[in-house]
Amino acid sequence: MRWGMLIDLNKCVGCYACTVACQQEHRLSLGEKWNRVLRVGPDGKFPNLTAYFLPVPCMHCEEAPCVDGCPTGASFRREDGIVVVDEKKCVGCKFCMVACPYGVRFYSEEKGIVEKCTMCFERLDKGEVPRCVETCPVKARYFGDLDDPNSEIAQLIRKKNAHPLHEELGTKPAVYYIFP
């Protein structure tokens, strides 16, 4: 089993509900965003302009540079593919922040450690979905087992020709996108 997420960028309206839900779920400060939403564009020439919103959580890479770059073993992959940080082992050196090609790790000044999206593994362990998936008002997010070819997420990835960000890096992200 490998947990994954699919985000349909044709549906995302940039409401930031996912960002706020994540902040509430994990008691983050206003400036700490484990689930950023970027605006891409506008692109093209008037009147044919295009723009879309791009939510960027941790990619939970199968070949995670942040895990390889962590000198203390604080960053590691769970058996279900979720990349997490062990707060007791993290010394706040920020090597993982430098190694992450997606820029999704954050240094907590208050705690002196690096933090990131956990794909809400605490909720998953209780049979619930990640808070950002549950909260999305337009249902732009899908969640499930990437290793199960019959799961909704695996079928949608195939059907909608979804791809991860920066596939060329070879990190094998667990977050896929349906691009406009």
pLDDT, one tens digit per residue, over 77-87 is 999 999 999 99
Q: Which two tokens stand for residue 141?
A: 């997010």
Mean pLDDT of 169-176: 98
pLDDT value at residue 30: 86
How many structural domains comprise the chain?
Answer: 1
CATH number for the domain spanning 153: value is 3.30.70.20
Q: Which two tokens stand for residue 97?
A: 């922040």
pLDDT value at residue 162: 98
The tens digit of pLDDT for each residue in 47-78 reads 998 999 999 999 999 999 999 999 999 999 99
The proportion of the chain whose per-residue pLDDT surpasses 90, expressed as a percent, equals: 96
- Which range marks the domain in which residue 110 is found? 3-178
* Pairing between β-strand 3-8 and β-strand 175-178 as defined by DSSP bridges: parallel
